[in-house]
Structure 1
Amino acid sequence: MAIPPGVVGHKPNQVCKLHKSIYGLKQASRQWYHKLSSTLFSLGYIQSQHDHSLFTKSASHHFTALLIYVDDLILAGTNSSEIDFVKHHLHNLFRIKDLGPLKKFLGLEIARNSKGITLCQRKYALDILSDTGFLSSKPTVTPMVRTTRLYQGDGEPHPDPASYRRLVGRLLYLTNIRPDLSFAVQQLTQFMASPTTTQHQALTRILRYIKSSPGQGLFYPSSSKLILKAFSDSDWATCLDTRKSISGFCVFLGDSLISWKSKKQQTVARSSSEAEYRALASTSCELQWITYLMQSLQIVYTSPALLYCDNTSACHIANNNVFHERTKHIEIDCHVVRERLLQHLFHLLPISSSEQYADILTKPLDPTPFHYLLSKMGVINIYSPV
């Protein structure tokens, strides 16, 4: 370890001899990553330029992928001998603990059978309910009431804002495999500085919704087709404080939901068409990244993706290369949609609002459309009775 800044009296080229674990030191994570990555490079692995935590190795008859999160690793491949060799080599260097076939990873619970793979966070969700005293609460059918509109200063200041922040932070991690919670949690994150009792009441409704299905998660069928399709949507000027719009998109690989986002736009849109067009720009960038990631995984994908939008004007703006009064105020970075469209990265197709899957990521819905769209996104609960 290099000498920390501020230490006086040391000679050039001296280093620190550690008497305890390096965990907690500023240099620890960098040194660990350097040691691990250099070891993988020596074994012939290549680091993905589109996701630096992904290392791959391709040979004539096998392919191996290794995904890293700090000191937790997932190893997958088509050749068991190569996997055993990598594990043995890493064990000699780092004394790793082999947990066998993937069942748990960073709070995710993985179950598999011949039909596919299911991801959920049931234990994590139950821990949240237990810590907050909502295990015996009355469940609700949706995370938010359709008429809910949260804004700054709505209600009395919450007496314990720190507990509000901690709980919202825990719910953020739960959205990793719960797209049904993404919009509701995104709304609550806007009031972390000074939450009110009204916003805390909305937070408790999310907990009661989790109580109704703590084991809900995503299902990835084994028979899914290799077709990329995305749904893009926005809700215009719904933020009562800033009048900014909410963007939402979800990306499917066949019938498997692999990416989604619910986020407030950075600038105010002058029309619903502009808001939809900005949402399309975010979705097209996500499709581009997923295409690059598939190349790193040696997946040959040449067909253009299918991008669905329910706003006719936004589709016309994407297809029309003439600037006019309705588009000259739109920032240039939004026209990445037109650029990717001309490169045949995707086909832009219309869709009815009732079949717009991303609608669940932009606004609160009534129970019937909410659960209909949720069923289309591959969200299931393997713990529910048949």
Structure 2
Amino acid sequence: MNHTTFLLVYVDHILVTSNNPSVIQQLISQLNKSFSLKDLGEIDYFLGIQVKHTTEGLHLSQTKYVHDLLCKAKMNNANGMNTPMISGQQLTMSGSGTVQDIQLYKSVVCALQYVTITRPEISFCVNRVCQYLKDPQEEHWQAVKRILRYLKNTIQYGLHLTYSSTLNLVQFCDADWASSPYDRRSTFGYCVYLGNNLVSWCSKKQHIVSRSSIEAEYRSLAGITAKITWLTALLSELRLILPRTPAVWCDNLSTVLLFENPILHARTKYIELDLYFVREKVIQKLIDVRHVPSSDQIADLFTKAIPSSRFSLLRSKLRVLDLSTLSLREDVRIIK
């Protein structure tokens, strides 16, 4: 029988898992011959990430980390918010006055980047405030404080990983054309599911200006195609065979149809390399690009600030859930 074992090492912290418990014990015994180890049993807390064992899987959160961050920013007694950013809000480069404590702004924003490990729904907002680290204005600090208020209101929320009967790789990608008001670069985002679980996500501003919405969407599609190629290779090394071609869901119908058209037009010459790259992967049946209605586009959460009702819906689809609503396992013991 083949055994699969994973070892994650960060300084003096080691996390090991395997599909065979005896292999874990053998590895720990071998390591203990050369190093002084303390076996803490099943994972409970690792690098600021709190792990709770539920009846369906694992719940990953950063409750303590967020609480410490709120205290650092003197926001621990602030009122909570239902969303991390006002719907449709546009931040500007200047005009509201430089913040009094620039180092605090930079420190809090960098800490928020780490929070996105278990809170993918704030990725877009954090990406936005990160763009003003060089010269943060009071308007940007107010945006940061709203993110903190949202985290305070949802401090028990985290990423819920559950058991899955299939290992289908499914992706959603989207782009918000010319969304940046001062350089007109587009924002693109994607999220990747392996079975029922969210395993990868991104919210980022494109490096160059797109001349049309289809250009912005196709660059987003090329980005997620590259990610799929890497993930497929990784899963192959782990001896995991995908049961079907990875599906990519895009809400721009013109983009979906473009790779099927062998004729290049003037409007597509700026994305010619991306076009051939995606088309090649489709021909090789390494990806399957499909159209999804905008109302069902989960990646919207990574490209723009959206209203509260829709935000809550998409957050749940990302499997970011409140720990208090889940059933915990009672047989987990941590041995020190």
- C-alpha displacement of 1:331: 5.1
Runs of 4+ in structure 1 off by over 4 angstroms are none
In structure 2, the residue matched to 1:260 is 201
How many aligned positions are there? 327
Q: Give me the whole-angstrom Cα distance separating, in 1, the residues matched to 2:21 and 2:142.
A: 51
- The reply to whether residue 138 of structure 1 matches residue 86 of structure 2 is no
In structure 2, the residue matched to 1:83 is 24
In structure 2, the residue matched to 1:202 is 143
In structure 2, the residue matched to 1:47 is none
Equivalent residues of 1:284, 1:337 under 8 A apart: yes
Structural mapping, 1:288-303, within 5 Å: 288-303=229-244
Equivalent residues of 1:114, 1:222 under 8 A apart: no
Q: Give me the whole-angstrom Cα distance separating, in 2, the residues matched to 1:358 and 1:338.
A: 22
Gap runs ≥5 in structure 1: 1-59
In structure 1, the residue matched to 2:222 is 281
Equivalent residues of 1:107, 1:124 under 8 A apart: yes
Q: Give me the whole-angstrom Cα distance separating, in 2, the residues matched to 1:71 and 1:187.
A: 34
Q: Deviations over 1:14-39 (max 9, x none)?
A: xxxxxxxxxxxxxxxxxxxxxxxxxx
3-state SS, counterpart of residue 313 of structure 1: helix
- C-alpha displacement of 1:314: 1.1
Highest CA radius of gyration, 1 or 2? 1
- C-alpha displacement of 1:302: 4.2
Q: What amino acid sits opposite 2:217 in the alignment?
A: E
Q: Give me the whole-angstrom Cα distance separating, in 2, the residues matched to 1:207 and 1:195.
A: 17
- The reply to whether residue 336 of structure 1 matches residue 277 of structure 2 is yes
Aligned counterpart in structure 1 of residue 192 of structure 2, from 244, 248, 251: 251
Q: Give me the whole-angstrom Cα distance separating, in 2, the residues matched to 1:329 and 1:223.
A: 41
- C-alpha displacement of 1:281: 0.7
- The reply to whether residue 73 of structure 1 matches residue 26 of structure 2 is no
Percent of matched pairs sharing the same residue: 37
TM value normalised by structure 2: 0.93
TM value normalised by structure 1: 0.81
Q: What amino acid sits opposite 1:213 in the alignment?
A: T
Aligned-residue Cα RMSD (Å) equals: 1.6
Q: What amino acid sits opposite 1:140 in the alignment?
A: M
- The reply to whether residue 350 of structure 1 matches residue 291 of structure 2 is yes
Q: Give me the whole-angstrom Cα distance separating, in 2, the residues matched to 1:218 and 1:363.
A: 21
3-state SS, counterpart of residue 109 of structure 1: strand
Q: Give me the whole-angstrom Cα distance separating, in 1, the residues matched to 2:102 and 2:276.
A: 41
- C-alpha displacement of 1:383: 3.2
In structure 1, the residue matched to 2:124 is 183
Greater shift, 105-114 or 259-268, is seen at 105-114
Q: Give me the whole-angstrom Cα distance separating, in 2, the residues matched to 1:65 and 1:334.
A: 37
Change (3 A) 1:90 1:371: same
Q: Give me the whole-angstrom Cα distance separating, in 1, the residues matched to 2:272 and 2:97.
A: 39
Q: Give me the whole-angstrom Cα distance separating, in 2, the residues matched to 1:338 and 1:231.
A: 17
Equivalent residues of 1:281, 1:335 under 8 A apart: no
In structure 2, the residue matched to 1:367 is 308
Q: What amino acid sits opposite 2:238 in the alignment?
A: L
Aligned counterpart in structure 2 of residue 327 of structure 1, from 251, 268, 272: 268
Equivalent residues of 2:54, 2:326 under 8 A apart: no
Equivalent residues of 1:226, 1:254 under 8 A apart: yes
Q: What amino acid sits opposite 1:290 in the alignment?
A: L
Q: What amino acid sits opposite 1:260 in the alignment?
A: W
Q: What amino acid sits opposite 1:156 in the alignment?
A: G
Greater shift, 172-181 or 309-318, is seen at 309-318
In structure 2, the residue matched to 1:108 is 49
3-state SS, counterpart of residue 151 of structure 1: coil
Q: Give me the whole-angstrom Cα distance separating, in 1, the residues matched to 2:151 and 2:239.
A: 38
In structure 2, the residue matched to 1:304 is 245
Gap runs ≥5 in structure 2: 328-336
Aligned counterpart in structure 2 of residue 225 of structure 1, from 147, 163, 166: 166
Q: What amino acid sits opposite 1:325 in the alignment?
A: A
Change (3 A) 1:314 1:108: same
Q: Give me the whole-angstrom Cα distance separating, in 2, the residues matched to 1:302 and 1:208.
A: 42
Q: What amino acid sits opposite 2:58 in the alignment?
A: I
Q: What amino acid sits opposite 1:241 in the alignment?
A: Y
Aligned counterpart in structure 1 of residue 176 of structure 2, from 226, 235, 241: 235
Q: What amino acid sits opposite 1:100 in the alignment?
A: G
Q: What amino acid sits opposite 1:358 in the alignment?
A: A
- C-alpha displacement of 1:360: 0.5
- C-alpha displacement of 1:225: 2.5
Equivalent residues of 1:115, 1:223 under 8 A apart: no
Q: Give me the whole-angstrom Cα distance separating, in 2, the residues matched to 1:274 and 1:61.
A: 46
- The reply to whether residue 92 of structure 1 matches residue 17 of structure 2 is no
3-state SS, counterpart of residue 268 of structure 1: coil
Q: Deviations over 1:59-115 (max 9, x none)?
A: x34222222334422211122222112111212222223221111111111111331
